[in-house]
Amino acid sequence: MKKFYSLCKKSICIDAESFPGDNPLWEQFETESCNADITVKCTVSDSFPKIPDGVRSGEFTVSVDGDTVYRALPMGTIPGALTMYTPADTSRSETFFTPRSFPIMMDSRFMWSSVSLAQLLLSANAFFIHSSFISVNGKAVLFSAPCGVGKSTQAALWEKYRGAEIINGDKAGILVESGVYACGVPFCGTSGICKNKTFPLGAIVLLSQSPENSIRQLSGAEALQGLMLNIYLDLIAPGEQSAIIELLISLLETVPVYSFACTADESAVQMLENILTGII
């Protein structure tokens, strides 16, 4: 059984013997396309292939054997998912699940990480960033920062005072291809805000909290480093670090990145709006 999804203007095919129940966040991204840019074969098995020793990166253990990368994601103390792919050609990959882990790991909250979708999209010129994603006047603005800094707060202020639309409360896809686009994705943390909409990317705003508002545009290595801190890639596999750096350099040629120390009130909206005049 195959299901096709459109993410970051790419067709993703999930090929599995069955799908465990409804997947409401992903349903709005389903498409009838039968031509996939990326195909993920899902295999349910009592045992996983043997893999070399790996490097721990967050929740994952990443192993490399020749041209093949293995990304193991546990489910508590038991095996959860194991994805095999080749970084040079991510058009086809395979993810293994146990009968116990499959219905949980393929839930809408976890499916994107279970099948290592962030890594697979990299060679298709797309990546995910931790951000609240709003649209204003047909352009996207991304508020990016670690959890608890105020991404959702700034997005809500723009919705309240400027009529902005919140597309995703926690994550966005970015496609760097014939322009730079911010794309809705079918996962949104605990925000509950998840829409299938795409807009040209106007600006990325890296947030920090402050009793007073101050903003400056970043460039070069400083902008690159600020973005790298908020993307969903571990960059352990060969070639992935250089690939994301090339994408970010292309992004920075046309999209401004700002460091914004801000308050949680309308004055923050006013200051940023003044900076973005002519951009959004």
What span, in angstroms and rounded, lies between the C-alpha atoms of 226 and 34? 38
132: left (phi over 0), alpha (psi -120 to 50) or beta: beta
Residue 237, token pair as written in the block: 């596999």
pLDDT digits (tens, 9 = 90+) for 65-101: 999 999 999 998 899 999 999 998 999 999 999 999 9
pLDDT digits (tens, 9 = 90+) for 183-237: 999 999 888 899 999 999 999 999 999 999 999 999 999 999 999 999 999 888 8
pLDDT digits (tens, 9 = 90+) for 231-275: 999 888 889 999 999 999 999 999 999 999 999 999 999 999 999
The domain 126-275 is placed in CATH, from the list 1.10.3720.10, 3.40.190.10, 3.40.1400.10, 3.90.228.20, at 3.90.228.20
The whole-number pLDDT of residue 256 equals: 98
Q: What is the mean pLDDT of residues 15-19?
A: 89
Residue 125 has pLDDT above 90, yes or no: yes
Of residues 163 and 107, which shows the higher confidence score?
Answer: 163
Neighbours of 221 (CB within 10 A): 8
Q: Which of the four pLDDT bands, split at 50, 70 and 90, describes residue 107?
A: confident
User: b or e along 128-164 (b: 16 or more beta carbons within 10 Å of the residue's beta carbon)?
Assistant: bbbbbbbbbeebbbbbbbeeebbbbbbbbbbeeebeb
The whole-number pLDDT of residue 19 equals: 81
The whole-number pLDDT of residue 220 equals: 94
Domain segments of the chain as ranges: 2-122, 126-275
The two beta strands, 198-209 and 180-183, are antiparallel
What span, in angstroms and rounded, lies between the C-alpha atoms of 126 and 181? 9
Q: Which of the four pLDDT bands, split at 50, 70 and 90, describes residue 21?
A: low
Residue 32 has pLDDT above 80, yes or no: yes
